[in-house]
Amino acid sequence: MAVTAVAGAEARPIPRLRRLEDERWLALALLMPTAILLGLFIAYPFFEGVLLSLTSQRVGVPGEFVGLKNFVKIWNDSIFRTTVWNTFWYTGVTTVFKLALGLWLAMLLNRHFKGKALVRAFILLPFIIPTVLSTFAWKWMFDPTFSVINWALFHLGLITQRINWLGDPDLAMTSIIVVNIWRGVPFFAISLLAGLQTISPELNEAAAIDGARPWNRFWYVTWPLLLPVTMVVMLFSVIQTFADFQLVYVMTGGGPANATHLFATYAYQLGIGTGLLSEGAAISLAMFPFLFIIVVVQLLYIRRVETR
């Protein structure tokens, strides 16, 4: 019985698929979905905000083109100047304390002890709990009538009358700083702990054999190797803290007497609360140059540290 073999013609690749063999076309095809999403949800709202800030639009009123009039108006606003100071003070103080406490916790969690995994999971709870939920709990703790903090200080003999934590401008600012530090320390601790895990213990052992004390081993061995990770963590923390909204809005709403406003809360109050959409957009955009400069400086420093 004869068997005839029929040689089939080799299937030629589709011209469109043949382009994907080129790395440039493949990279473009893979990046296109991300570029479209970024354009729709970030670039488009940003440019719409720029156009809105250059008009006199209000809720229900289209408005006209006014140029930089809104920016001049908010710059002459005393509340806006207070907002700028509050934002920088809030971001600076919280970042320093979160770094110090997070590094201290990371050094402790890097040791070997029983229940280490459970403790690490427990440390993450403040960061995992939804911001609004945990902030409501803190707001109740700072309440002058039902405050557990006032109750504890009274029974310790440190105070003789109730403290209105959120009713005093200075105490209100201190309160939101404390809550932000409480929420941010776990992020620093776990991130820095991951960085510590990458450092070889042999380096510290060699330094100890040479007679270096614990502080010297940390300053000359651990810290230089941990610095790149630290700068990246600080960069994300500064961006998130600078544009913080939920925590301040839930606790104080920018009060008392507009004393705790940040860029985001003041922009929301003007844009949504009073209907001045164009001025609210101008305040939101005023945050961009400050944040852009901070991020660029940090990125340049990170690059400098990594190239050492």
Q: What is the CATH number of the domain that holds 174?
A: 1.10.3720.10
pLDDT given for residue 282 in this prediction: 92
pLDDT given for residue 20 in this prediction: 65
Q: Is 128 a domain residue?
A: yes
Whether residue 1 is predicted with pLDDT greater than 50 in this model: the reply is no
Q: Is 159 a domain residue?
A: yes
Q: Is 121 a domain residue?
A: yes
| Contact status, residue 258 vs residue 241, Cβ threshold 8 Å | no
Q: Is 24 a domain residue?
A: no
Of all residues in the chain, what percent carry a pLDDT higher than 70?
Answer: 93
Whether residue 227 is predicted with pLDDT greater than 70 in this model: the reply is yes
**Partners of 55 in the beta sheet?**
65
pLDDT band (50, 70, 90) for residue 199: confident
Would you tell me how many other CB atoms lie within 10 Å of the CB of residue 119? 13
The pTM score is: 0.85
| Contact status, residue 241 vs residue 94, Cβ threshold 8 Å | yes
Mean pLDDT of 54-75: 87
Decide: residue 235, CB within 10 A, 0-12 exposed, 13-18 middle, 19+ buried: middle
d(CA 265, CA 244) in angstroms, rounded, equals 8
The DSSP letter of residue 257 is: T
Closest CA to 121 of 189, 178, 181, 182: 189
Mean pLDDT of 180-202: 91
The DSSP letter of residue 21 is: T
Q: Is 6 a domain residue?
A: no
Mean pLDDT of 42-60: 88
Reduced to 3 states (helix: H, G, I; strand: E, B; else coil), residue 2 is coil
Reduced to 3 states (helix: H, G, I; strand: E, B; else coil), residue 65 is strand
Q: Is 179 a domain residue?
A: yes
Q: Please, which residues have CB within 8 angstroms of residue 86's CB and are 6 or more apart in sequence? A: 173, 259, 260, 261, 262
Q: Is 1 a domain residue?
A: no
d(CA 209, CA 298) in angstroms, rounded, equals 36
Own/partner pairs, 205-208, CB within 8 angstroms, 24+ separation: none
Q: Is 227 a domain residue?
A: yes
Q: Which domain holds residue 214?
A: 53-306
CA dihedral (51, 56, 57, 61) positive or negative: negative
pLDDT given for residue 80 in this prediction: 93
Q: How many domains does the chain have?
A: 1
